[in-house]
Chains A and B, each alone.
Chain A
């Protein structure tokens, strides 16, 4: 498993099947090497704002993109998004919401909170794989984050 200090993609996903399918899609494009997976919202917050007692805490590591599911145990995705966009240190990290919900209120709230993109996970695997790999390629290879 990828160590926190090498993280390029942070995947916040509680569903192991979805996580595996996502990783597989990224792997097909050779983008899966530096992916770190958080299994709920609390873990994601711990990753960025923890007190260090947790193994996840790694100040200074800035992923190139965060793939964030919305429906998460403990702390939901929108709350994670709000906290990330509030904090100056994490504000500029691109957050791509990757969720099953195509409900209008979710989309609106996500963008209001500062999401950089909103992708509805297709049920169809080919479509899903294409979407995930496109997102990975775009944010890792095409996009220039601030340094």
Chain B
């Protein structure tokens, strides 16, 4: 798997980074604010449903107490007692009168009954449609509220009953039941909903489940979670149809329970609106921020781009190029510094060019002078020498007959010295030419070059015993003619100084020294005193007397100049009468 590298420009990276950061900050803030708002909304709604439930319970406690006292009044009434005790045979009117004191005739939704202890109804006043069923006697005199029940589908009833005794603290002889119908209808529900703020629902039912109503109709009992009474600050969420939060409370001493509930959707609707609005604002902030970051980064990258373009232009030779970076901020100062630097470069360049022109002119003047000098040496120094030599010979040829031996010897000395002078001039000119000549670099097959030189040396040596061995020689890079000159001089020397050996041995070879090749020419000749090794390569430096070995002392100087002009080194090892080895290095083919 390859790792991808992002090569985006700062102009893209900076706004992107800033936008991402801004987005993160805005999202965190938005999340926090939304959480807070949501908590507040839920807390507020919880407060509402709790308060509502509590108010309904309080109201019911009062009415229940009132009903209790009414039932207690009936139970304690002597007429009612007598009516029950007589098994309904007498006192019926008194009992009815007592009932009328509690609720006038034709009071809707209320029925009153008197039962004996044998389970027979003795009296029913009011609408028989919701009369109660036979039931066991209650334990209390002061009234017991029974759970809600459904009777004939649509009616929801609650009844309160109490026992009738024979005189105070006497035996139980029957019971009194007051039945109240809960008036449920769409209108009733709307009225109640309106009281509690329009969106809240009120549910009434039995705490242990069973019959429940939303005041419009009978409904399934809310889930147990909804019916749990608790003291926590937030209302318990539950599902009844859809998600709801509600608060439940039981009317003390009864199985009846109230639940005030709100749909979670309604509760959280304002927070959704808040979230949408805030998201819109956040999006605007992020967009504005991103644009701002882009604008700021453009302000940075534009001058940088100018600088880059200008630097590239200067690098490619347009030294007059300058940048226009306005302002006095860091970029403005950078632009100014850049311009100053470019000016310096331009000035230095023109100075340099001037210097180069000046130096080149001086150099070519010097070269021209040298040229003229060596031409002059070459031409004018030879002519008189030729005359001296020529006329000395003429003297010998034309008048030699009349000369004695000494005169002839003197002429011979003149002859010999003019020859040497001629050789000196030739060598000196060759040496001087070498310094001025351009090197024409190419690959040079050193083995083949050495073979050619060796052949020539052998020809000159004639039948003198001379053993020349040539080892492996790596190719070099250099000027073929110059290298041939150097090799020729070295082998010439070797041949010359082995003249007194029988046989003369010359070995040409090479050895690797790291990256460079070291070539050597080794002989078994006269050698040299190592103390004077440093003088070997000097012009006109000779370590042997002319009578022993002829020469002008330029050959090794030429070798040194050739090798040095190729960037190589040259040195020699040897001892007097112990042979000599000359080493030189040249740039190899691979690293040149």
**A interface, CB within 8 angstroms of B:** 15, 17-18, 21, 24, 70-71, 99-104, 106, 121-126, 128
Contact = CB atoms under 8 A, between A and B. Distances in A.
B394 interface: yes
Given A17-B387, A123-B418, A125-B389, A102 B378 contact: yes
A103 B425 CA distance: 13
Contacts of B387: 15, 17-18, 21
A17 B388 CA distance: 9
A99 B385 CA distance: 14
Contacts of A101: 375, 378-379
Given A17-B387, A17-B391, A128-B386, A123 B419 contact: yes
Interface string B391-429: 111100000000000000000000000110110011001
B374 interface: yes
A72 to B, nearest CB: 11
A15 B425 CA distance: 19
Contact of A125 (B379, B393, B425): B393
Contact of B378 (A17, A100, A124, A125): A100
B390 A125 contact: yes
A24 B386 CA distance: 14
Contacts, number: 63
Given A17-B387, A103-B378, 19 more contacts: A15-B383, A17-B386, A21-B387, A21-B390, A100-B379, A100-B380, A100-B386, A102-B426, A102-B429, A103-B375, A104-B433, A122-B422, A123-B382, A123-B425, A124-B389, A125-B386, A125-B392, A125-B393, A128-B386
A13 to B, nearest CB: 10
Contacts of B378: 100-103
Nearest to B384: A17
7 contacts: A15-B383, A15-B387, A21-B386, A103-B375, A104-B433, A123-B422, A125-B394
Contacts of B426: 102
Contacts of B433: 104
Contacts of A70: 379
A99 to B, nearest CB: 7
B390 A128 contact: yes
A100 B393 contact: no
- Interchain residue pairs A-B with the least CB separation, the first 9: A123-B422, A17-B387, A125-B390, A100-B382, A125-B393, A21-B390, A100-B379, A125-B389, A71-B379
Nearest to B398: A24
Contacts of B383: 15, 17-18, 100
Contacts of A18: 383, 386-387
B387 to A, nearest CB: 4
A118 B454 CA distance: 29
Contacts of A102: 378, 426, 429
Given A103-B374, A123-B385, A17 B379 contact: no
A125 B398 CA distance: 14
A71 B379 CA distance: 8
Nearest to A121: B386
A17 B387 CA distance: 6
A128 B394 CA distance: 13
A125 B386 CA distance: 7
Among A15, A100, A126, chain B packs the most CB atoms within 10 A around the CB of A100
Nearest to B386: A123
A18 B390 CA distance: 9
Contacts of A123: 382, 385-386, 389, 418-419, 421-422, 425
B418 to A, nearest CB: 7
